[in-house]
Amino acid sequence: MKFDSEIKEIFESSAKTIAKILLGIDIIKIKTLPTEVQEKLIADFVGEIETPQGKFLLHIEFQSSNDDFMPQRMLNYAISLYRKYLKKHPQKQSLPLIQILVYIGQDKLRMKNFFSLKTEFTETFHRFEIIDLSQIDAEKFLESDDPDVFILSILGKTQNRIEVIRKITEKLKKLNLDESKLLKYIYRIDILSELRSVEKEALESMPVELKIDVTRLLGYKQGKKEGKEEGIKEGIERGLREGLYTAIALDLQIKFGKKALSLMSKIRKISDIQKLKKLKKEIIKAKNLNEFSKKIYHANSNNKLTNNNKPY
């Protein structure tokens, strides 16, 4: 489910470019429409597409695993879309409906692209398109300068997926994104790599400056997982804290060498996330290890004062 929702967000960010790659046609304009086609039935994407040849209604569903009931679901979507967007708007009744199931899974695609039911008295047939992202050349996505587009190359057809990930990270570095945006795309690299079972290799292939952020992010992800049992807020905070500990350790080792890791026992006594973030920044400013040690001392002193509400 996390894969489908992440792909949905990526598509919504750059629908025009991605739709052009998937459909292989020039798109002039996309008008995004509400996805709740009926009560408790929400599509992944619905839009009115304008091309040089005309307009059509586009419905897309993203699927990360094979589902034998997908044809029935697509038929249900089609009927609901007709009722909501075509029947109520006579001027749009001539718009053809194109439905696409985008498969992003790793297992071999085995879903049918049609629903057929024939009895003695009735006969129903409905067909839709299926696009398997693993069969689309990764280079088509890499040609774009839009990170929401070229990041999808992880799922594309390639002989060397790790090399594709390396190209993605190089393109991300050149964009000079702020920290929050960079973390978002690193998270997506991790998620999409998992769909191709190369998440470990993806992490190892990251440039050092991005690898630090990945480590922090993995801590955040672990926090969300633990949050199911401990409470979302507590779990996320624990994950962020562990991610910061690891990030600080990496920064220390990069700047001062392995000897600096001896300070981690003192750093782990600091539990306040904001103080840990500030301490991480102090590594860059510190001229030597002794200067940074003093920062740890002050942070620890303040930490005890805060926790005990009195000097020690």
CA of 262: how far to CAs of 157, 256, 257, 267, 268, in Å?
45, 11, 10, 10, 11
pLDDT at 5 over 80: no
pTM: 0.67
pLDDT at 81 over 80: yes
- pLDDT at site 300: 77
Q: How far apart are CA 193 and CA 182, in angstroms?
A: 16
pLDDT digit string, tens, across residues 7-21 = 888 888 888 899 889
- Using H for helix, E for strand and C for coil, what is the string for 231-253? CHHHHHHHHHHHHHHHHHHHHHH
pLDDT digit string, tens, across residues 137-166 = 999 999 999 999 999 999 999 999 999 998
CB 190, CB 218: distance < 8 Å: yes
- pLDDT at site 233: 54
CB 97, CB 87: distance < 8 Å: no
Mean pLDDT value across the chain: 82
Lowest mean per-residue pLDDT among 18-27, 98-107, 216-225:
216-225
pLDDT at 214 over 70: no
User: What are the residue boundaries of the structural domains of the chain, listed by start?
Assistant: 2-135, 139-308
Strand duo 114-118 + 123-127: pairing: antiparallel
- pLDDT at site 105: 92
